[in-house]
Amino acid sequence: MCGVVGIVGTSPVNLSLYNSLQVLQHRGQDAAGIVTVDEDDNFHQRKANGMVTEVFQQRHMLRLRGNIGIAHNRYPTAGSSSAAEAQPFYVNSPYGIALAHNGNLINSKELKEKCKKAHRHVNTQSDSEILLNILAWKISQISHDVPTTDDIFEAISGVYDEIKGGYAVVCLVLGVGLIAFRDPFGIRPMVLGEKKDENGKSEYMVASESVALDVSGFKLVRDVKPGEALLITKDGQLYSRICAKDPHLQSCIFEYVYFARPDSIIDGASVYATRVRMGTKLAEQIQKEHQNLKIDVVIPIPDTSIDIAVQIARTLGVPYRQGFVKNRYIGRTFIMPGQKQRKKSVRNKLNPIPAEFAGKNVLLVDDSIVRGTTSLQIVQMAREAGANKVFFASASPEIRYPNIYGIDMPTSKELIAYGRNNEEICKEIGADALIYQKLEDLEASVTEENPALTKFDTSIFTGEYIVPPAKDYFENIEKQRSDDAKADKAWKDSSDSEQLDIFNI
């Protein structure tokens, strides 16, 4: 999972790109990058490993000149943290193209072979670089010296024909402007925003979440449609076209559960409102199916589950308490690359307040349970703080299958729910009771906020993939995503340069 931003303005965009990356930091904490284009059609770039505030200093911002630019926060889905894979990526032919990508291509192996046949070299293991070269290959088939709007959309249609997976893409083409497009199912999110400058001229932004628009003064216009491509020319003209065959919206429901910020709106649904509904439905399930639980207090595992837990407590009529104090300076443990790092970071990240646990029957609420090791530690922490009984509620159903569209979930054998029933999972995490959200209730939580959303990517719960992968795909991702594989990659990556300090390409 990554965060992407693209802006076509009438004044320098470097600060707006920076601010947008900051509010999208939750989508990726591994690396960050910005590319801008100046009035002479020169690229300026800065990208490096680290958080946004670590990557960009004043001297870097001053060099990022131009009124057009793209930006990226990186979250590695295959475990690699090499500085060479920081985005955006760049190729000088044809025209000069820079690209940033959120998501995952599931036919990368096949595409890499096509790149070779097209005499294009891919230098990293990143599928984003492969996507860039496929796009460059299609654009290279344009016969005009200056591409027309039809030329660009025809090239994007050719890209859709080649690539498979979930993706939201922003790219710059010198002499043309900003291009953005979203996969045919809208699995990965992307929004369009607009604002007027002091002369009344439109400036445009595309981003992974609407919150990125808010911080820079852009107003949400709409979501980019599934299979839609946008072309915003360097002089600020907006064009759009559906370029994919048979698109329909089936977005990733886990965005609402975990990844997106609560103040974002995705596909017309408030993330905050959907999480409140998740809490209501979980509470109703507890009232109906778990009347025997004598719950004294509801405590969230911060931060994503807070809104859910508040609503559970309100519906059940029991006290809500903040029982854990969170260290705000540690990243999200879900995206830590390796089990040892995740396990260590949980104790560093959360500290219990004993008075909120002592002698009480506690209902802990989390957004999901993935490997279960974090949940086990948190249950143990609650008991050590004096809890009488510890019940555990998950806002999402049992996660039994890997995500293949841009979320770095482990292989099935590393998922605690795979091959286990509720009682077995409950025992594994050491809880006295375990309540999972029902899939139909999770879907209803979003649909009730926007009735137009009727289908979702729920493959991590059902194993039904809307874009089916090749037969050997899961075997390959197991080699990439297992903790052993990540440990090996981390060792190799440690020898890489920590930063790519390239200002002028």
What is the distance between the alpha carbons of residues 121 and 118, in angstroms, rounded to a whole number?
9
Q: Could you tell me which residue, 495 or 142, shows the higher pLDDT?
A: 142
**What number is the average pLDDT over the span 20-30?**
96
pLDDT for the residue 343: 55
pLDDT for the residue 401: 94
Reported as a pLDDT band with limits 50, 70 and 90, residue 347 is confident
pLDDT (tens digit, 9 = 90+) per residue, 301-333? 998 999 999 999 999 999 999 999 988 776 555
What is the distance between the alpha carbons of residues 188 and 267, in angstroms, rounded to a whole number?
10
What is the distance between the alpha carbons of residues 426 and 348, in angstroms, rounded to a whole number?
24
**What number is the average pLDDT over the span 25-33?**
95
Residues 94/396, Cβ–Cβ less than 8 Å: no
SS3 245: coil
E-state strands within 21-118 = 31-37, 43-49, 68-74, 89-91, 97-105
Using left for φ > 0, alpha for ψ between -120 and 50, and beta otherwise, residue 120 falls in beta
Beta carbons within 8 Å of 288's beta carbon, 6+ residues apart: none
SS3 145: coil
Residue 88, preceding bond cis, omega within 30 degrees? yes
Mean pLDDT of the chain: 91
140: exposed, middle or buried (C-beta count within 10 Å: 0-12, 13-18, 19+)? middle
**What number is the average pLDDT over the span 21-27?**
97
**What number is the average pLDDT over the span 226-238?**
97
> Of 126-130, 200-204, 340-344, 378-382, which range is least confident?
340-344
Does 171 score more than 90 pLDDT? yes
pLDDT for the residue 503: 41
Does 92 score more than 80 pLDDT? yes
Q: What is the share, in percent, of the chain residues with pLDDT greater than 70?
A: 90
Reported as a pLDDT band with limits 50, 70 and 90, residue 481 is low
pLDDT for the residue 485: 52
- Strand 433-436 to 361-366 pairing: unpaired
pLDDT for the residue 245: 96
Question: What are the phi and psi torsion angles at 240 (to 5°)?
Answer: -145, 150
pLDDT for the residue 239: 98
Element (H, E) at 360: none
Residues 162/135, Cβ–Cβ less than 8 Å: no
pLDDT for the residue 110: 94
pLDDT (tens digit, 9 = 90+) per residue, 176-209? 999 999 999 999 999 999 999 999 999 999 999 9
Question: What are the phi and psi torsion angles at 74 (to 5°)?
Answer: -105, 135
Q: Which amino acid is at 173?
A: V
pLDDT for the residue 384: 97
Q: Could you tell me which residue, 480 or 504, shows the higher pLDDT?
A: 480
**What number is the average pLDDT over the span 207-227?**
98
pLDDT for the residue 76: 74
H helix runs in 251-299, sequence order: 254, 271-289
**What number is the average pLDDT over the span 250-267?**
96
The verdict on whether 2 is a catalytic residue reads yes
Q: What is the largest CA-CA distance in the chain?
A: 76
Reported as a pLDDT band with limits 50, 70 and 90, residue 408 is confident
**What number is the average pLDDT over the span 37-66?**
97
Residue 337: alpha-carbon gap to chain centroid: 15
pLDDT for the residue 335: 47
- Give the global pTM: 0.92
pLDDT (tens digit, 9 = 90+) per residue, 50-60? 999 999 999 99
Does 441 score more than 60 pLDDT? yes
If you count them, how many residues does the chain have?
505
**What number is the average pLDDT over the span 447-455?**
97
